Amino acid sequence: MRRIIILKRSLASLLAILVCIVTVNLAEANEIESISFLFPAPYAEATRDLVQQFNRENRGKIKLSVIRGPFATEAMSDLAISSLILGKAPFDGLLMDVTWLPKYAATGWVEPLESYFDQDDVNSLAVGAREGNSYENHLYRWPLVADMGLLYWRTDLMKEPPKTPEELILISKSLQKNNMVDWGYVWQGRQYEGLSCVYLEMIEGFGGYWFKTNDNKIGLDQAAGVEAASWLQSLIKEGVSPQAVTNFAEQEALQSFRAGDSAFMRNWPYAWAELQQADSSVRGKVGVTTMVANPGYSTATNGSWGLTVLSGSSHIDAAVKAIRFLTSDESQKQLFLKYGYTPTKQSIFDDPFLLKEAPIISELGRALKVTKPRPETPLYAQISDVLQRQLSGILTVEQTPGNGMVHATRNTEQILISAGEQR
Amino acid sequence: MIFLLFLPSLLLLVVVFLLPLFRYSWLSFHADSVVTGLIAIPNGVANWVRLSLDQRYWQALGQTFRFAVVSVSFELILALSIALLLDQRWRGRNAVRAIALIPWALPTTVMALGWRWILNTPYGPIDRLTNLIGIGSLNILGEPGLAWLATVLADVWKTTPFAALILLAGLQTIPSDLYEALRLEGANSLSSLRRITLPLLRPYVLLALLFRLAQAFGVFDLIQVLTGGGPAGSTESVALYAYINALRFLDFGYSATIIISSFIFICFACLICWFLIKVLFTPQRSFLKKVS
């Protein structure tokens, strides 16, 4: 009796081992490549359908999963970096803000992609979308969504949007005087990256520049730099913008404009869809144009998001395939129509169907032509940080624009010097 | 053999405390940043020289000290009154004890986000209130001085229960016959507070103080969520500055220098506190001596 039990047991374990071997072999025979990308939460949601479609088309070969990151850009960057500095990242690809690229490329965290995307691919991009994808002559990033600063205006309050900074103040003041709106212009004045974006549009708009990477020239303390800071300060001083704008990010500005409290707003293209929702007080009363500037200097800060493959990924081919799918014409159309994400391919801006169906695309295309990148250097985070600090000081009227910009320039020089010493 | 008994805790201390401390001290004498390709290259005292000249560091350090001293003082005074109240016998005391713990039980990020919305101008309730009573909009989080006060307020609200809990535990160790003895001598409750409660509570006050001081000095999450260090850097703490240097600027060498220097400062601060408490609360003239 006992012997039979032992026999049975050894047979059973033998069978179990056999089953194991067979399944392992089977799995190897049709191995599915699992790849994962980390996306900020809004993009993860917007691409859910596309990801499903990709997985259907590649069933049995590639399984793409998108990890949903945080909402805020800075929180997203912190998450990505803290997983990267620990060594092997738990994902193959990353959806990356335009300003992160030099830093990631300099540390060797991203894979060069020029052998996967040729010149024809690059030529298919709209001119404004070709920027910010390369660092030191290597292509690292393929743009998923073009994003740029826009001026939103109320079509029910005026016939034409303002073109110059003075016009914006004049129109705002007269509307405020006639009690048509509480505030003229809402924007991003909080001490964070958004403030640098606002400022870049103004300093370029007054004919100046922030930082030239080729010869390390800093333009903050020159006439246009000070003028841009003074103009932003005067918006608050003269009551065109609420005092609270010094703590506004995109969300707060949108809240004010969406409630019909303001005549103008600076924001990214995503705001368009929000303003057209049923509970928006300004639905159907909103126009979009490029930021006010001295004639000929209109500028939109480039805030595009692009896909990168992380070094050390063992599925580069599959990841590139996924990138190609997510950035295809069809995908971009879908992202634009459903979520208002600005396309990166020129062909979509010329699509007669879209031009008729969603005329805003022509304005977006126009803004995309005047996009400017923020300084493309691995030290960008530091350089932007000192600028934000000084600007915030100027806006909360602790600091004169002239002094603040001199400080910002000196601090930027300091950063360059101490980086030079480390090199 | 007794050595074996505390080996596990010793090991834990070495792993979570001593090792990082050594590693960061070592790193503070190296350049390790995005410029060096994240490779540590010895650079002598360059980081320390940079630190000593870094205005922003000294500003953050000053702000952190101010924050820690002001918020911990308020917390201890409030906590003592709350602890005394919760130590008395009255109906519903247990329920109140539980409720009083809620702020401390909330995750800091959650409560900081809550405060951010409460203090939001112009859509938060505080702004409504100040407009209603005719003060007008205060723009609390957009004004350097007010934003700093907001961080103190949020910290006091959040961590007073923690200090109160420690003090309450201390109050319950004081034998009640001491109070009775003093009452027989005809003393009022104020003098019993001064002569029995405070001297006997001393080790607990010290405990709460040191815990809170160390935490307040390392304040990070509250500020990161509530103000992000702004406006104009007026609420930036040392920990936030170290974090920004490491994770945003990828300058690990300098970040390590900031961390080690603030570690040294807080050691000094705690020593001074310990000494002060010892002097302030000496039980020489207290009733205890008479009894014993």
A405-415 b/e (C-beta count within 10 Å ≥ 16 → b): bbbbbebbebb
Please give the biggest Cα pair distance in chain B. Answer: 75
C-beta atoms of B143 and A381 within 8 A: no
Residues of chain A positioned with their CB less than 8 A from the CB of B229: 191
Per-residue pLDDT, averaged over A6-23, amounts to 60
Output the pLDDT for position A5: 61
Q: How far is A181 from chain B (nearest CA, A)?
A: 15
Q: Check pLDDT > 60 for residue A21.
A: no
Output the pLDDT for position A134: 94
C-beta of residue B109 within 8 angstroms of C-beta of residue B220:
no
Q: Check pLDDT > 50 for residue A183.
A: yes
Neighbouring-strand partners of residue A110: A310
C-beta atoms of A247 and B139 within 8 A: yes
Q: Check pLDDT > 50 for residue A355.
A: yes
C-beta atoms of B34 and A378 within 8 A: yes
Q: Check pLDDT > 50 for residue B169.
A: yes
Would you say residue A20 lies in a domain?
no
Domain containing residue A130:
33-147+303-371
Q: Could you report the predicted ipTM of this complex, rounded to two decimals?
A: 0.80
Domain match, A163 and A56 both: no
Domain count, chain B: 1
Would you say residue A128 lies in a domain?
yes
Q: What are phi and psi of A94, to 5 degrees?
A: -140, 135
Would you say residue A41 lies in a domain?
yes
Residues of chain B positioned with their CB less than 8 A from the CB of A255: 123
C-beta atoms of B249 and A382 within 8 A: yes
C-beta atoms of B46 and A85 within 8 A: no
Residues of chain A positioned with their CB less than 8 A from the CB of B38: 85, 107
- Supply the mean pLDDT for chain A: 91
CA pair distance B77, B156, nearest whole angstrom: 11
Domain match, A197 and A124 both: no
Domain match, A39 and A97 both: yes
Output the pLDDT for position B2: 78
Report yes or no: A337 at the B interface, CB cutoff 8 Å.
Answer: no
Report yes or no: A381 at the B interface, CB cutoff 8 Å.
Answer: yes
Residues of chain B positioned with their CB less than 8 A from the CB of A191: 228-233
Domain match, A193 and A289 both: yes
Output the pLDDT for position B291: 47
Q: How far is A386 from chain B (nearest CA, A)?
A: 10
Q: Check pLDDT > 70 for residue A24.
A: no
The structure tokens listed for B292 are 């014993």
Residues of chain B positioned with their CB less than 8 A from the CB of A190: 142, 228, 230-231
Output the pLDDT for position A398: 75
C-beta of residue A98 within 8 angstroms of C-beta of residue A303:
yes
**Hey, what amino acid is at B95?**
A
Residue A51 belongs to a domain with what CATH number? Answer: 3.40.190.10
Would you say residue B136 lies in a domain?
yes
Output the pLDDT for position A304: 95
C-beta atoms of B144 and A396 within 8 A: yes
Residues of chain B positioned with their CB less than 8 A from the CB of A398: 144, 232
Q: Check pLDDT > 60 for residue A18.
A: no
CA pair distance A377, A215, nearest whole angstrom: 12
- The Cβ of residue A290 has, within 10 Å, a number of other Cβ atoms equal to 23
Domain match, A295 and A315 both: no
- DSSP annotation of A292 reads P
Q: Count chain A–chain B contacts defined by CB atoms under 8 A.
A: 111
Q: Check pLDDT > 80 for residue A421.
A: no
Residue A19's pLDDT band, with cuts at 50, 70 and 90, is low
Residue A9's pLDDT band, with cuts at 50, 70 and 90, is low
pLDDT per position as a tens digit, B191-232: 888 888 888 888 899 889 988 998 999 999 999 999 888 788
Domain match, A295 and A413 both: yes
Cite the DSSP H helix spans in B229-251: 238-243
C-beta atoms of A392 and B230 within 8 A: yes
Residue B139 belongs to a domain with what CATH number? Answer: 1.10.3720.10
Residue from B249, B255, B257 to probe the interface with A (highest A Cβ count within 10 Å): B249
Output the pLDDT for position B170: 93
Please say which residue of A354, A371, A388 terminates a domain.
A371
The structure tokens listed for B67 are 């924050």
Q: What are phi and psi of A180, to 5 degrees?
A: -80, -35
pLDDT per position as a tens digit, A53-69: 999 999 999 999 999 99
Q: Check pLDDT > 50 for residue B287.
A: no
Would you say residue A261 lies in a domain?
yes
Interface of A with B in 250-269 (CB under 8 A): 252, 255-256
pLDDT per position as a tens digit, B33-76: 988 888 899 999 999 999 999 989 999 999 999 999 999 999 99
Domain match, A143 and A160 both: no
Q: What are phi and psi of A313, to 5 degrees?
A: -70, 140
Would you say residue A2 lies in a domain?
no
C-beta atoms of A422 and B38 within 8 A: no
Residue from B23, B248, B255, B258 to probe the interface with A (highest A Cβ count within 10 Å): B248
Helix B252-280 / helix B19-27 crossing angle, nearest 10 deg = 120
User: Residue A363: which residues within 8 A CB-CB, separation 6 or more?
Assistant: A150, A287, A288, A289
Would you say residue B7 lies in a domain?
no
SS3 A131: coil
C-beta atoms of B250 and A78 within 8 A: no
Lowest pLDDT segment from A337-346, B14-23, B198-207: B198-207
Would you say residue A279 lies in a domain?
yes
CA pair distance A170, A240, nearest whole angstrom: 9
Burial of A137 (0-12, 13-18, 19+ CB in 10 A): exposed
Of A77, A244, A419, the CB nearest to B137: A244
C-beta atoms of B142 and A246 within 8 A: yes
The three-point CA angle A362-A367-A373 to 5° equals: 150
Domain match, A186 and A228 both: yes
Residues of chain A positioned with their CB less than 8 A from the CB of B248: 74, 77-78, 81, 381, 385
Per-residue pLDDT, averaged over A176-180, amounts to 95
Q: Check pLDDT > 70 for residue B254.
A: yes
Would you say residue A15 lies in a domain?
no
Q: Check pLDDT > 80 for residue A378.
A: yes
C-beta of residue A305 within 8 angstroms of C-beta of residue A96:
yes
Output the pLDDT for position A11: 60
Residue from B33, B57, B127, B135 to probe the interface with A (highest A Cβ count within 10 Å): B33
- DSSP annotation of B285 reads G
Burial of B16 (0-12, 13-18, 19+ CB in 10 A): exposed
Residue from A418, A421, A423 to probe the interface with B (highest B Cβ count within 10 Å): A418
Domain match, A288 and A141 both: no
The structure tokens listed for B17 are 């405390």
Domain containing residue B204:
55-291
Report yes or no: A106 at the B interface, CB cutoff 8 Å.
Answer: yes
- Which DSSP string do the residues of B57-105 spell out, in sequence order? HHHHHHHHHHHHHHHHHHHHHHHHHHHHHHHS--TTHHHHHHHHTHHHH
Residues of chain B positioned with their CB less than 8 A from the CB of A390: 232
- DSSP annotation of B222 reads H
Interface of A with B in 396-415 (CB under 8 A): 396, 398-399
Per-residue pLDDT, averaged over A20-32, amounts to 58
Cite the DSSP H helix spans in A37-192: 41-46, 48-57, 73-84, 101-106, 119-123, 165-177
Domain count, chain A: 2
Output the pLDDT for position A59: 92
Lowest pLDDT segment from A204-213, B124-133, B240-249, B271-280: B271-280
C-beta of residue A154 within 8 angstroms of C-beta of residue A175:
no
Residues of chain A positioned with their CB less than 8 A from the CB of B56: 389
Domain match, A256 and A338 both: no
C-beta atoms of A392 and B122 within 8 A: no
Lowest pLDDT segment from A258-262, A356-360, B78-82: A356-360
Report yes or no: A75 at the B interface, CB cutoff 8 Å.
Answer: no
Report yes or no: A419 at the B interface, CB cutoff 8 Å.
Answer: yes
Output the pLDDT for position A392: 94
Q: Check pLDDT > 60 for residue A27.
A: no
Output the pLDDT for position B292: 44
Domain match, A361 and A216 both: no
pLDDT per position as a tens digit, A362-377: 999 999 999 999 999 9
Output the pLDDT for position B29: 96
C-beta atoms of A395 and B122 within 8 A: no
CA pair distance A21, A203, nearest whole angstrom: 67
